Amino acid sequence: MNFKTLAVLSLVAFWSCNQEKDQVQEAEKEVLTIHDEVMPRMDDVMKLKQGLTVKIASLDSMQEDGVSSTTLAEERLKATDLNRQLVLADSLMMEWMYQYRGDSAKALPADQALEYFNKEKEKITVVREKTLKSIQEAEGFLKK
């Protein structure tokens, strides 16, 4: 093998390696962008949980005062369900953050790192969807 062939192969290998690193960095960036979009909304989750707790207490108080209706019972069930959805969204985010190992993944071979970040993107996307849906539904319920 002559020097020119060796030089060309070295350049191709170097370029390929850099391209894989760029793909890993981009995959990690996508994951963290989704996380950074959802994380500030966790304050909304907490405030809405408090609002639902107050609403449930109000409905319970009305029932204790002798007001009895199917509508009150349905509202209480809906508020309780929405509260559970918010709790789930919060726990999914906390669990995802606890299990996320981005630094360790970057030390893996590029193909394994890409696989890791793609799986993490799927997980954090589910967290985002559940969080945003639960916020939207709770806000709508509390505005009534």
Q: Which of 67 and 22 is assigned the larger pLDDT?
A: 22
Identity of the residue numbered 125:
T
Q: Which pLDDT value is given to residue 18?
A: 64
Between helices 110-143 and 3-38, what is the axis angle to 10°? 20
Name the least confident of 2-6, 23-27, 41-45, 65-69: 2-6
Q: Which pLDDT value is given to residue 72?
A: 86
Query: From CA 32, how far away is CA 62, in angstroms rounded?
Result: 45
Q: What is the mean pLDDT of the chain?
A: 88
Query: From CA 20, how far away is CA 10, in angstroms rounded?
Result: 15
| DSSP labels, 38-96 | HGGGHHHHHHHHHHHHHHHHHHHHHHHTT---HHHHHHHHHHHHHHHHHHHHHHHHHHH
